[in-house]
């Protein structure tokens, strides 16, 4: 059943609907502004619910999740999306981990009140797909994920995650096939080295909006990832035409490449790759303001890894490109 964006469904409506639809196994109730904890109490009476999406239901709190995790479908629910439910806290994740024993896919993205403790509660769970985009997770919390046999991990906009955290994770979670570190602005080449070296079955990698990545990152990727099919490097402003030469070595299996706002990759070089892939996208515009940096300069202060000699080389290369770009514009 799809109730996406329905602003008419009240607590009374949900009670009537759920009592008359006990066989319902999929419920897509995202962006329902009148969905409350009381509404979820009614949803919790459904006996065969496998899929539930209550993302962007801003009135849902820990109380509603408590009803859900004590409901009739605790042994049936396979997929749960609570993205942008801004009132839920670590307590909800604790209940999800302890009660929803068959859960395989969990989306906690942009639940701003969650901390590293949430991931510690999930340690050892049966989840194979986890989205924690935009959460205030740090390396310590990421370490708890090592106890989960994940195949898909989305960390987009987790700005406090560092290369060290990614390396420790990948050493222990080697079955990852789909990874998204888009806009994890603290990450640099060593993170991609770890992903490609340890996660040898990698199929999809999204690292758009990572301004510290260089051609070396792509070289690591093409050396270690034999099954990579999709890659997004949009907004990686330090990548040059050398990246395209590396990518040609893995076409196939690479069949999708997105290079929007890659200001240092020429159109001529990018076009050489186009006939070898099914999906190809490129522009050498500068990244838009919502990428969070201006011509490669990070706007917001973040926790950064300790600078090594290699990292300083990358920063110096970055500053040279930035100065050159600024002169061209003036």
Domains of the chain (ranges, CATH numbers):
1-102+114-124 (3.80.10.10)
Q: Can you tell me the distance from the alpha carbon of 86 to that of 159, in angstroms, rounded to the nearest whole number?
A: 18
Cα distance between residue 119 and residue 228, in whole Å: 27
Q: How many residues does the chain have?
A: 330
What pLDDT does 1 receive?
73
pLDDT in tens, the chain (330 residues): 777 777 889 999 999 999 998 899 999 999 999 999 999 999 999 999 999 999 999 999 999 999 999 999 999 999 999 999 999 999 999 999 999 999 999 999 999 999 999 999 999 899 999 999 999 999 999 998 888 999 999 999 999 999 999 999 999 999 999 999 999 999 999 999 999 999 999 999 999 999 999 999 999 999 988 899 999 999 999 999 999 999 999 999 999 999 999 999 999 999 999 999 999 999 988 888 777 765 444 434 333 333 333 433 333 344 333 333 444 444
Q: Give me the DSSP letters along 8-73.
A: S--HHHHHHHHHT-TT--EEE-TT-TT--HHHHHHHTT-SS--EEE-TT-TT--HHHHHHHHTSTT
Q: Where is 197: in which H helix or E strand?
A: helix 189-198
Confidence (pLDDT) at 294: 55
- 225 neighbors 196 (Cβ within 8 angstroms): yes
How is the chain split among helix, strand and coil, in percent rounded to 5?
Answer: 35, 10, 50
H or E element in which residue 258 lies: strand 256-259
DSSP state of 307: P
> Which three-class secondary structure state does DSSP give residue 179?
strand
pLDDT of residue 241: 96
Euclidean distance between CA atoms 188 and 302, whole angstroms: 14
DSSP tag of 102: T
Output the pLDDT for position 301: 35
Spatial neighbors of 107 by CB under 8 A, at least 6 apart, are 55, 80, 81, 82, 83, 131
* C-alpha to C-alpha distances, 229 to 166, 203, 224, 276, 292, nearest whole angstrom: 21, 5, 13, 12, 28
Name the strand (E) or helix (H) holding 131: strand 129-131
């Amino acid at each position: 059943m799809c109730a996406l964006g329905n602003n008419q469904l009240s607590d009374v409506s949900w009670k009537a609907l759920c009592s008359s639809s006990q066989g319902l196994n999929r419920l897509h109730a995202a962006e329902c502004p009148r969905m409350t904890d009381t509404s979820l109490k009614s949803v919790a009476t459904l006996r065969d619910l496998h899929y539930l999406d209550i993302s962007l239901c801003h009135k849902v709190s820990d109380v509603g999740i408590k009803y859900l995790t004590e409901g009739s479908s605790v042994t049936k629910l396979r997929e749960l999306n609570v993205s942008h439910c801004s009132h839920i806290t670590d307590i909800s994740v604790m209940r999800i981990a302890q009660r929803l024993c068959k859960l395989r896919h969990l989306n906690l993205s942009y639940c701003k009140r969650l901390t590293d403790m949430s991931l510690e509660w999930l340690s050892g769970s049966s989840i194979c797909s986890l989205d924690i985009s935009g959460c205030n997770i740090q390396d310590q919390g990421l370490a708890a994920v090592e106890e989960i046999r994940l195949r898909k991990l989305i960390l987009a906009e987790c700005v406090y995650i560092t290369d060290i955290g990614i390396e420790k994770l990948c050493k222990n979670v080697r079955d990852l096939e789909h990874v998204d570190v888009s806009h994890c602005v603290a990450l640099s080449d060593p993170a991609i080295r770890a992903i490609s070296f340890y996660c040898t079955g990698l199929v999809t990698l999204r690292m758009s909006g990572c301004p510290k990545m260089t051609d070396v990152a792509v070289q690591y990727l093409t050396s270690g990832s034999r099954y990579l099919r999709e890659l997004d490097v949009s907004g990686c402003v330090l990548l040059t035409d050398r990246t395209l030469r590396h990518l040609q070595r893995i076409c196939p299996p690479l069949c999708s490449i997105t290079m929007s706002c890659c200001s240092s990759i020429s159109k001529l070089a990018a076009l050489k790759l186009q006939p070898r892939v099914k999906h190809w996208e490129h522009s050498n515009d500068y990244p838009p303001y919502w990428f969070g940096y201006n011509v490669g300069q990070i706007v917001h202060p973040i926790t950064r890894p300790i600078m090594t000699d290699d990292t300083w080389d990358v920063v110096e290369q970055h500053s040279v490109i930035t100065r050159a770009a600024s002169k061209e514009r003036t």
